């Protein structure tokens, strides 16, 4: 989430609210005009939202949660209170095309704590969970107590459970897979997979099926066989403070509606207009580049092309965001039982 939208209310406030602590209110940290180092907030006994004590120093903090639940506000509160850096774990926020639509932290947040792996991947570049883990490794060497925050469950599972070292898919194999899916459909692609992989993947997810097909085609080994050789995790779960936000469905739906309206007021339509000349023909399909999958982008592009009104685009994007949040909640419920759950509101 960007600056100005936080865990304390269901609508974007005009300014960040104070954070409570045992002795009163945590002082605001602002840049010193004389370039003096700001007061260390750890000189004060502090607590965080949710009646949550500050995490144990020296341990990385993981914060997961569905979109619009207030993850970034909590990450910023912890980072400011303990002098930590923040690292992105959201697959949509890595792309440089979308600042507003992906709800990247804004200038106000960036000024208050160092942020890494946000908006650094150019349009059209390949980027996967493997890229993310490889970029994260040197950051953790320098900042072992980083706050890692995002809504992409696959990133967190790769980080804490390990990642199979599968070779990159050659461009010609990717093109062959795109053509097969487009011309013959998902059933034909499933028919080409090995039994072990079929038993492990989501057969209704075209992106997952295509990935499995590409791995088998490129390496001669099924995805399941590669996954059995998963190495040690970069950051074992037991060495972290792991938090997952579990918001009430109706509360979250209201925040999603209000946030997308705020995005439009802040210029999300202009962001989509800038992307329009680069919008691919296969946008909306599993073969589309990853940067096109920002929630709301396809709807705003459709509006700019005269295919729907702005009100219709806003309604469709809001619905798509709620559906995305539902998938995220399902993932967290099924895969993060060992994380500390933080109910909201």
The secondary structure of residue 188, as a DSSP letter, is H
Confidence of residue 15 (pLDDT cuts 50, 70, 90): very low
Q: What's the CA gap between 70 and 211, in Å, rounded?
A: 31
Confidence of residue 153 (pLDDT cuts 50, 70, 90): very high
The fraction of the chain above a pLDDT of 90, given in percent, is 73
pLDDT at 4 over 70: no
Q: At what angle do helices 171-184 and 206-219 cross, to 10 degrees?
A: 130
| Total number of domains in the chain | 3
The CATH number that applies at residue 297 is 1.10.287.890
The CATH number that applies at residue 210 is 1.10.20.140
pLDDT at 137 over 70: yes
pLDDT digits (tens, 9 = 90+) for 247-257: 999 999 999 99
pLDDT at 130 over 60: yes
What predicted TM-score, i.e. pTM, was given to this entire model? 0.79
Same domain, 107 and 199: no
Same domain, 236 and 133: yes
The residue that leads in pLDDT, 308 or 5, is 308
Q: Measure the CA angle with vertex 120, ends 118 and 125; round to 5°.
A: 130
List Cβ neighbours of 228 (8 Å cut-off, separation of 6 or more): none
pLDDT of res. 343: 94
pLDDT of res. 92: 95
pLDDT of res. 248: 96
Structure tokens at 307: 């295919």
3 state DSSP class of 67 = coil
The residue that leads in pLDDT, 15 or 142, is 142
pLDDT of res. 33: 31
**229-233, 291-295, 308-312: range with highest mean pLDDT:** 308-312
Same domain, 222 and 257: no
Task: Give the alpha-carbon dihedral of 314, 64, 132, 218, to 10 degrees.
Answer: -80
Structure tokens at 152: 């992409």
Same domain, 51 and 181: no
Confidence of residue 124 (pLDDT cuts 50, 70, 90): confident
pLDDT of res. 2: 41
Report the mean per-residue pLDDT for the chain. 86
Q: What's the CA gap between 64 and 322, in Å, rounded?
A: 17
Confidence of residue 48 (pLDDT cuts 50, 70, 90): low
Same domain, 256 and 110: no
In a domain, 11, yes or no: no
- Going by C-alpha positions, the residue among 100, 106, 89 that lies closest to residue 150 is 89
8 Å CB contact between 147 and 85: yes
Handedness of CA 156, 49, 147, 89 (dihedral sign): positive
pLDDT at 85 over 70: yes
Span of 11-15, 184-188, 231-235 with lowest mean pLDDT: 11-15
Q: What's the CA gap between 14 and 18, in Å, rounded?
A: 12
Confidence of residue 16 (pLDDT cuts 50, 70, 90): very low
Instruction: Provide the pairing of β-strand 115-116 with 86-88.
Output: parallel
pLDDT of res. 50: 66
Same domain, 89 and 42: yes
Instruction: Provide the pairing of β-strand 60-64 with 240-247.
Output: parallel
pLDDT digits (tens, 9 = 90+) for 154-186: 999 999 999 888 888 898 999 999 899 989 999
pLDDT at 70 over 90: yes
3 state DSSP class of 33 = coil
In a domain, 134, yes or no: yes
pLDDT at 56 over 90: yes
For the beta carbon of residue 58, count every other beta carbon within 10 angstroms: 9
Same domain, 33 and 48: yes
Half-sphere exposure of 242 (CA within 13 A, CB side): 17
Q: What's the CA gap between 23 and 39, in Å, rounded?
A: 16
User: Helices then strands (H, E): number in the chain?
Assistant: 13, 10
pLDDT of res. 44: 31
pLDDT at 13 over 50: no
Dmax (CA) of the chain: 67
pLDDT of res. 214: 95
Structure tokens at 62: 């993981």
pLDDT of res. 47: 52
pLDDT of res. 80: 96
In a domain, 125, yes or no: yes
8 Å CB contact between 112 and 76: yes
Query: Can you list the positions of beta strands (E) in the chain?
Result: 20-21, 24-25, 47-48, 52-53, 60-64, 86-88, 115-116, 147-150, 240-247, 340-344
Span of 19-33, 59-73, 109-123, 321-335 with lowest mean pLDDT: 19-33
The CATH number that applies at residue 137 is 3.40.50.300
Q: Which domain holds residue 213?
A: 171-227
Structure tokens at 177: 């897979």
8 Å CB contact between 223 and 201: yes
In a domain, 12, yes or no: no
In a domain, 295, yes or no: yes
- Please compute the mean of the pLDDT values over residues 9-32 and round it to a whole number: 31
């Amino acid at each position: 989430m960007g600056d100005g939208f936080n865990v304390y209310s269901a609508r974007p406030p005009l300014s960040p609210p104070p954070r409570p602590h045992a002795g009163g209110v945590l002082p605001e940290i602002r840049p010193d005009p004389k370039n003096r180092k700001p007061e260390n907030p750890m000189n004060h006994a502090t607590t965080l939202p949710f009646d949550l004590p500050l995490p144990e120093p020296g341990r990385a903090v993981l914060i997961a949660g569905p979109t619009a639940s207030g993850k970034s506000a909590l990450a910023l509160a912890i980072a400011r209170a303990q002098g930590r850096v923040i690292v992105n774990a959201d697959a949509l926020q890595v792309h440089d095309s979308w600042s507003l639509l992906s709800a990247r932290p804004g200038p106000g947040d960036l000024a208050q704590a160092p942020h890494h792996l946000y908006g650094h991947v150019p349009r059209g570049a390949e980027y996967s969970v493997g890229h993310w883990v490889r970029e994260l490794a040197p950051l953790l060497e320098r900042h072992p107590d980083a706050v890692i925050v995002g809504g992409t469950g696959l990133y967190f599972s790769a980080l804490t459970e390990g990642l199979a070292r599968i070779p990159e898919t050659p461009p010609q194999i990717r093109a062959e897979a795109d053509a097969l899916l487009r011309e013959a459909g998902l059933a034909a692609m499933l028919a080409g997979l090995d039994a072990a992989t079929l038993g492990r993947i989501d057969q209704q997810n075209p992106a997952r099926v295509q990935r499995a097909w590409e791995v088998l085609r490129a390496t001669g080994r099924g995805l399941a066989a590669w996954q059995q050789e998963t190495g040690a995790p970069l950051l074992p779960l037991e060495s972290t403070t792991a938090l997952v936000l579990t918001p009430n469905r109706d509360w979250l739906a209201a925040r999603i509606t209000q946030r997308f309206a705020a995005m439009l007021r802040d210029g999300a339509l202009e962001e989509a207009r800038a992307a329009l000349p680069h919008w691919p023909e296969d946008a909306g399909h599993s073969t589309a580049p990853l940067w096109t999958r920002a929630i709301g982008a396809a709807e705003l592009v459709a509006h700019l092309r005269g295919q729907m009104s702005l009100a219709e685009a806003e309604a469709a994007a809001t619905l798509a965001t709620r559906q995305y949040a539902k998938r995220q909640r399902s993932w967290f419920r099924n895969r993060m039982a060992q994380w500390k759950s933080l109910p909201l509101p």
